[in-house]
Structure 1
Amino acid sequence: MEHLRGDDPARIGPYTVLGRFGTGHAPGPPREPRYVARSADGDRTVLLCLPRTGADPARWAVEARHARDLSVPGFLPVDEVGGTAAAPWYAVPYVPALPLPDALAACRGPLPEPFVRVMGRGLAASLRAAHARGVVHAGLSPAAVLITPGGVRLAGFGAVRGAGEDGRHRGDVPGLDHSALPPEQMTGGRPRPLGDVYGIGAVLSYASTGHTVPQREEIPDGLRAVISACLARDPAQRPDAARLEALLAAVPAPASAPAPVPVSVPAPASATADGPWSGPAVHAAPGVSHVPGGRPATVIDAPFAAALPAPVAVALARVAAAVLAAGPAGPVPAPYDRPPLAPDALD
């Protein structure tokens, strides 16, 4: 979490902003602003997202409302959308998390291959479930991948759709990570499932080399064929999400791997026994439990937790402690979302 800058809002809707989410290590152009914030009574801590500079706020708000209605394992559970038509926002219950670029910064370089493989399997499983429901993420990039103690989560839903209409060349659209954008979407094509697979390829490239467009020889031997298949320019040459999950499961582990370091993080103020992202619940096998209303609750993905690199585990614990200790300071300027939201402003 970063300190607020001079142009950052101190309040968004009913929430007091505590700090910026992440530390700005993401490659490419600026992403949508994300903040850690807390309700006035201190009982609820959230991750708040705003439209990026240059984005169409109306289209962005439509994607936010769509995300609120989803229940897809591995996607951030958006549970509140507010603001005005010109200045919308959405909120996600907060759990300790690092954007993928911050995880690389914690490791001072690429992530270990065993962890990249397990992370990729988690991403592929989430997309397999989404695609089976007819949902396309349309925004996969390193900044959209969040590392939590219990598994990998996806943010940035609908970034490509929110950036502009289909048919428009997206090469000059601000805020999109063009190195992670499938060629067919770059030229204005509609986001489709195999475009998400291209995004996973860019994410795995970045995680394993530090670059979204690495030289082939930079990619670890055990991941080279899989990543190259994901990044095929012809969508028909890419594996679907289910096939990708199987390919990553079949990649042999290196002869030696660093011993995992367990991580223990405090539960956020918003965690409740029956709420979304409830406190850590260990399951015998990886999966997603569900709470009333269909929202996925937090689980511990055992293989993911076992492979979590020690520097990332330490960084997660520090982030959790910083958020628990954080509080508002100084004068509170006008809130981000005035005037009040009209009932149909985001329809």
Structure 2
Amino acid sequence: MQALHHDDPPRIGPHVTLGRLDDEPEHTAAERRFIVRGADGERTFLLRIPRHGTDPTRWAIEAEGARRLSIPGLLPVEEVGGGPAELPWCTAPYVPALPLPAALRAHGGPLPGPVVQALGAALARTLATAHAQGVTHAGLSPAAVLLTADGPRLSCFGAVRAAAPDGEHRSGLPGLDSGSLAPEQAAGGRPRPPGDVYALGAVLAYAATGHTVPERDELPGFLREPVTACLSRDPARRPQAQQLFPHPEPAAHAATVLDTATPSPIPLPASVVVALAHQSAQVLAAELPVPAHRIDR
């Protein structure tokens, strides 16, 4: 949990902010994310608001759409709020979480191969489930991936749709890593499942090398073929999410996975586990600040 700065809102809706999820220099997340305490002073949430430059109305529409979904690995939305005098916001129940860039910093560099492979399998399952339901994430980037002890969760749902009206050129969208944006979306095309697959390739490249557009030889052997295929400039040449990192499971277990909103755990380096524990301790020890004004548009 990062300390609040003078320009951070002390309150968002009825919630009191305890700290930021993202580092101050880190401007890759497509939304601003805070750890907050509820109005009752008991429950803790991960709360999100749109970044500056994002259409708040469209962002709220995407948040409401996410609230209606139950997809394993997609960060759930418990409540959507806001009003004419304040930015929209949405909440998820808090669990200790590190954005992927923060996890690499905690680890001191790219993640080990087995961790990246497990991460790729988990994210591919999430996208495959979403795509089977006719849902495109449209916001996948390294900062959208939150690592938790229970498995990765995807934040920033609908970021591309919220950041620019259909038909506008989408390069340089606020908070979006340009290396994660599929060429057809950067050119103004509507977000579709092949764009999610392109972004998944960029995310896995980042996890394994520290950047989203590495040279092929920089990738570990097990990633070269799938990441190269995901990053094809031709959407038709990209694999479908369910074709990546297949792991056969007994039918009964597979049904259980698809019928719940619980992500699948993956192995995490000890350094990342320590960072998650440290964040949890900070939240438990946090004292509520003196209530102040709400954030305005």
Q: State the TM bucket, normalised to the shorter chain.
A: over 0.9
- Following the alignment from structure 1 to structure 2, what is the Cα–Cα distance between the partners of residues 83 and 197? 32
Matched position secondary structure for 2:222: helix
Letter in 2 for 1:74: G
* Equivalences for residues 165-314 of structure 1 within 5 A: 165-246=165-246, 249=247, 288=257, 296=261, 298=262, 301=265, 304=266, 307-314=267-274
Is 2:260 the partner of 1:321? no
TM-score norm. by structure 1 comes to: 0.80
Moved over 6 A (4+): none
User: Is 1:36 the counterpart of 2:35 in the alignment?
Assistant: yes
Q: Which residue of 2 aligns with 1:148?
A: 148
Q: Percent identity?
A: 55
Deviation string for 1:51-91 (max 9, x for gaps)?
11101111111101101111111101101011124611111
Query: Cα deviation per residue 1:122-142 (whole Å; 9 max; x = unaligned)?
Result: 000001110011000000000
Find the aligned partners of 1:319 and 1:101 in 2 and give their Cα distance: 15
2:294 corresponds to: 335
Structure 1 position 131 matched with structure 2 position 91: no
Specify the SS of the correspondent of 2:75: coil
Q: Which structure is larger by alpha-carbon Rg, 1 or 2?
A: 1
Number of positions where the alignment pairs a residue of Structure 1 with one of Structure 2: 292
Seen in structure 2, the aligned counterparts of structure 1 residues 150 and 36 have a Cα distance that, compared at 3 Å, is same
Using a 3 Å threshold, how does the CA distance of structure 1 residues 299 and 222 change in structure 2: closer, same or farther? closer
Query: Deviation of residue 48 (structure 1)?
Result: 0.7
- Paired with 1:299 and 1:105, the residues of 2 have a C-alpha distance of 23
Match of 1:62 in 2: 61
Equivalent position amino acid for 1:336 in 2: I
Question: Does the alignment pair 1:47 with 2:7?
Answer: no
Per-residue CA deviations over 1:3-52 (Å, capped at 9, x if unaligned) read 100010111111110000132464x6564211000013222100110111
Question: Corresponding residue for 2:87?
Answer: 87
Name the residue aligned to 1:278.
none
Deviation at 1:320, TM superposition (A): 1.0
Alignment CA distance shift 1:289-1:136 (3 Å): closer
**Structure 1 residues 286 and 38, CA gap change in structure 2 (3 angstroms):** farther
- Give the CA RMSD over aligned residues: 2.1
Alpha-carbon distance change, 332 to 42 in structure 1, aligned in 2, over 3 angstroms: closer
Extract unaligned runs of 5+ from structure 1. 251-283, 339-347
After superposition, the Cα gap between the structure-2 partners of 1:74 and 1:45, relative to the gap in structure 1 and judged at 3 Å, is same
Question: Which residue of 2 is the match for residue 343 of structure 1?
Answer: none
Measure the CA separation in 1 of the matches of 2:255 and 2:117: 15
Q: 1:127, 1:241 within 8 Å by CA — same for their partners in 2?
A: yes
Higher helix share: 2
Q: Which amino acid aligns with 1:190?
A: R
CA gap 1:285/1:149 in 2 versus in 1, 3 angstroms = farther
Q: Which runs of 5+ in 2 are unaligned?
A: none
> Which residue of structure 1 lines up, in the alignment, with residue 164 of structure 2?
164
Aligned in 2, Cα 1:132/1:286: closer, same or farther, shift over 3 Å? closer
Q: Contact between 1:50 and 1:89, CA under 8 Å: does it hold in 2?
A: yes
1:237 to partner: Cα distance: 0.8
CA offsets 1:166-187 (integer angstroms, 9 cap, x no match): 2111114322221100000000
Equivalent residue letter for 2:280: A
Distance 1:56 1:111 in 2: 34
1:7 corresponding residue in structure 2: 7
Contact 2:152 2:263 in 1 (8 A): no
1:97 counterpart residue number: 97
